[in-house]
Amino acid sequence: MQTILVTGGCGYIGAHTIVDLIENGFNVISVDNLSRSSENSLAGIEKITGKKVKNYNIDLTNAQAAESIFTENPNITGVIHFAAYKAVGESVEMPLAYYENNIFSLVNLLKLAVKYNAMHFIFSSSCTVYGNPDTIPVTEQTPLQPAASPYGATKQMGESIIKDTAFVAPLSTILLRYFNPVGAHPSTAIGELPIGRPQNLVPAITQTAIGKLATMQVYGDDYDTRDGSCIRDYIHVCDIARAHTLALQYSIKNNQPKSCEIFNLGTGNGITVLEAIKAFEKVSGLALNYQIGPRRAGDIVAIYANNDYAVKKLGWEIKYSLEDMMRTAWDWEKSIAAKN
Q: Answer positive or negative: Cα dihedral of 89, 92, 96, 101.
A: positive
Asked if residues 297 and 154 have their Cβ atoms less than 8 Å apart, the reply is no
Neighbours of 313 (CB within 10 A): 14
Distance CA 105, CA 93 (A): 20
Choosing from 12, 116, 130, 151, the catalytic residue is 151
How far does CA 29 lie from the centroid of its chain?
A: 18
The C-alpha atoms of residue 251 and residue 314 are separated, in whole angstroms, by 10
Contact 7, 124 (CB under 8 A): no
Specify whether the CB–CB gap between 121 and 161 falls below 8 A.
no
* CB contact at 8 A, 271 and 322: yes
- Residue ranges in the chain assigned as alpha helix (H): 12-23, 40-49, 63-72, 88-93, 95-115, 150-168, 201-210, 237-254, 273-284, 308-314, 322-339
3-state SS class at 328:
helix
In angstroms, the CA 57 to CA 270 distance is 37
Residue whose C-alpha is closest to residue 177's, from 121, 224, 150, 138? 138
What does the buried/exposed string (b/e) look like for 143-165 if buried means 16 or more CB atoms within 10 Å of the residue's CB?
A: ebeebbbbbbbbbbbbbeebeeb
In the residue annotation, 151 being an active-site residue is answered as yes
Whether residue 137 is preceded by a cis peptide bond, meaning omega within 30 degrees of 0, is: yes
Residues with a known catalytic role: 151
